[in-house]
A and B are shown apart, each in its own frame.
Chain A
Amino acid sequence: MTRDYLLLILSGIPMTVAVTVVALAAGMLLGFPIMLMRNAPWAPLRLMTTVFIAIVRSVPPVVWVFLVFFGVGADLVDLNPFTAAIISFGLISAVNMAEIYRGGLVAIAAGQHEAAMALNLSRWHHFRDVTVPQMFIVSLPAIATYSVGLLKDTAIASTIGLQDLTFQGRYVTEMTYKGLEALSVVGAAYILLSLPIAWLSRNLGELLKRRIAR
């Protein structure tokens, strides 16, 4: 494997990282209102959201990517592979984030809510100052774990022509017929990208647990 080919493969890293980061950010943002709707006091909204989450989660990511790129992208609006990948993975991570947040909400000790009530905080301040920050802290390790999965899932977008790590690996394979070497580089690059997130998830969890544990 020459240096040029190696660099060509690695040139896919920014695209992989970009799709992961943007989709994750969109998911973290959109997941919040989805979680609120999932917990809404009004039953029809709650039911609709539950069904929506189930549908998004039941369809394999690769089908979502095709649906958005070849379906929506071809018939309705013009979408480039990057936009299609962001939409697909943003949607998928949004519903997953909603479920992670919901778990975080449940994990808050009942005494926290009792204290907020006894201190006479308004419902809004109770939510904003007591519930939401703790929900996020409790959710962080799960979010980090999810983002490792998302990073790897974005490889699927190479099938619609997104020039990411996997796409470049396949491209080099086709040019050199040295699949083992090229794709090993790709695999190693994914591992190296995952490591900091995995490290963060483990240590973040410990750090926050230490802070929150009584």
Chain B
Amino acid sequence: MTKPIVTLEKMSKQYGTHVVLPEIDLTVGEGEVLAIIGPSGSGKSTLLRCLNYIEHPTSGVITVANTRVEVGRDDSTRRIRELRKNLGMVFQSFNLFPHMSVLRNITLPQVRVLGSSEKEAEEAARRLLDRVGLADKADQYPARCSGGQQQRIAIARALALGPKVMLFDEPTSALDPELGVEVLGVMRELAETGMTMIVVTHEMSFAENVSDRVVVMADGRIIEQGNSRDIIRSPQTERGRRFLRAVNER
């Protein structure tokens, strides 16, 4: 593996007494594309959301690039914002801001977070929209765009902040298959540029063909991980086999 860029050490998450993630350890190398698969409720999304502190993890240590955050000890708002600076996130439900034009969705965070000028932000936004094939949508409102378009805009919005790692939380699950293909295409291109990506997904062909490594989760634990093709084609654990059989037989 290349130099690690994301490291989780014994990261856990519980709601009251309900343990969602018992101490997870995970390392992602620079430029690596990691797919996390597994049944619903296995904690895949929670893992991603704890990693960028959208949900507050219960314990552990999170390291992204040069920022090391110890949960509960060294996780002030300032430290968390430093952590998030290197993490872009794309959601299942896109979460574009509905009251802003597509262009404003992409320029606003740049102006607010990076301190870019409006002009710089707009140039970057138009460049990114062009890259995801939506240059003509700049002045539309999100509601006037299809789901696939909205998700590509959301990717552009996250990329505009120059993250080192992109997190994708089931980016195609809310889309019908044809629209999902547009989004997967953009993600594949992104992977080719060397972006580090952690993708929670049910798209097995993406996991097999685009990701470098697959992690299989069940009941909050990583039950299996390794080279994508090996894991998808011949999982070693009984639970992993059961899950992949169920996915493939659909």
Interfacial residues, chain A to chain B (CB-CB below 8 A): 109, 111-112, 114-115, 117-123, 125, 129-130, 133-134, 137, 210-214
Contacts and interface: CB of A to CB of B under 8 A. Distances in A.
B97 A118 contact: no
Chain A interface mostly: helix
A114 B54 contact: yes
B89 A118 contact: yes
A121 B98 contact: no
Contacts of B89: 115, 118
A28 B49 CA distance: 37
8 contacts: A111-B93, A114-B95, A118-B54, A119-B161, A120-B113, A133-B99, A134-B97, A214-B150
Given A117-B54, A119-B158, A211-B143, A130 B97 contact: yes
Interface string B51-79: 01110000000000000000000000100
B170 to A, nearest CB: 13
A22 B22 CA distance: 58
Given A112-B95, A112-B97, A121 B109 contact: yes
B131 interface: no
Contacts of A120: 81, 84-85, 109, 113, 161
A23 B54 CA distance: 41
B198 to A, nearest CB: 13
Interface string B22-66: 000000000000000000000000000100111000000000000
A117 to B, nearest CB: 5
A127 to B, nearest CB: 12
Contact of A115 (B77, B97, B99, B112): B97
Nearest to A128: B112
A77 B54 CA distance: 53
Contact of B95 (A111, A121, A125, A134): A111
Interface string B147-171: 1001000000110010000000000
A114 B52 CA distance: 10
B11 to A, nearest CB: 18
B91 interface: yes
Contacts of B49: 114
B193 to A, nearest CB: 21
A137 B91 contact: no
Contacts of A213: 143
Nearest to A126: B112
B184 interface: no
A134 B99 CA distance: 7
B98 A134 contact: yes
A137 B52 contact: no
A137 B27 CA distance: 43
A125 B114 CA distance: 13
Contacts of A130: 97
B108 interface: yes
A54 B91 CA distance: 40
